[in-house]
């Protein structure tokens, strides 16, 4: 875990993201898997979150992906699978579209203590943003502690979103 940069606490990241969204009159929808709703909870803990938070889903299984995101076998054709950047970008776009949000953010990973059915090691997550910019990254914590990984996954997703929002500010 020493290779990962230090991340701010989840509440700090969420407060800054929420303030930016409120100031810009933008909205967000969240699709989480192995972060288990921590991102949505952090955003919803901010007073006045209804100004920017449109909804979220914990998509922890194929059944949940079908029910909550409307994923079909055709969506997963061509080798698409969970816990990859293309999948994280896809579900970020899907949650954004279904909620008519300015931004969709998503993560898909293996929190541990064991790896995923796809062969990904515990501590593997892909985070993605879909909106004016589409961005994603893959993080490997190198650890198998489920609770720690869930926290890191949530902070990594909000950190990427925060970076993206800041880059938008400086670009425009």
- When pLDDT is averaged across residues 69-91 and rounded to a whole number, the result is 93
Q: Grade residue 2 by pLDDT with cuts at 50, 70 and 90.
A: very low
In a 3-state reduction of DSSP, which class is residue 86? helix
Phi, psi for residue 145 in degrees, rounded to 5? -75, 110
- When pLDDT is averaged across residues 85-99 and rounded to a whole number, the result is 98
Question: What letter would DSSP give residue 29?
Answer: E
Question: What letter would DSSP give residue 85?
Answer: H
CATH number assigned to the domain covering 10-171: 3.90.950.20
C-alpha–C-alpha distance, residues 29 and 122, integer Å:
26
57 close to 68: Cβ distance less than 8 angstroms: yes
C-alpha–C-alpha distance, residues 157 and 98, integer Å:
20
Start-end of H helices in 52-145: 62-69, 85-99
> Domain coordinates of the chain in residue numbers?
10-171
Q: Grade residue 1 by pLDDT with cuts at 50, 70 and 90.
A: very low
Query: pTM for this structure?
Result: 0.95
């Amino acid at each position: 875990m020493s290779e990962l940069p230090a991340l701010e606490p989840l509440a700090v990241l969420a407060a800054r993201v929420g303030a930016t969204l409120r100031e810009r009159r933008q909205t967000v929808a969240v699709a989480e898997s192995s972060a288990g709703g921590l991102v949505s909870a952090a955003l919803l803990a901010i007073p006045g979150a209804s100004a920017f938070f449109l909804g979220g889903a914990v998509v922890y299984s194929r059944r949940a992906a079908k029910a909550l995101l409307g994923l079909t076998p055709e969506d997963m054709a061509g080798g698409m699978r969970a816990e990859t950047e293309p999948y994280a970008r896809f579900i970020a776009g899907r949650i954004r579209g279904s909620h008519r949000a300015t931004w969709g953010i998503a993560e898909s990973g293996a929190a541990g203590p064991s790896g995923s059915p796809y062969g990904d090691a515990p501590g593997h997550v892909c985070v993605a943003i879909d909106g004016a910019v589409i961005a994603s990254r893959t993080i490997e914590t190198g650890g198998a502690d489920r609770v720690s990984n869930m926290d890191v996954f949530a902070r990594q997703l909000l950190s990427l979103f925060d970076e993206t929002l800041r880059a938008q500010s400086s670009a425009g």
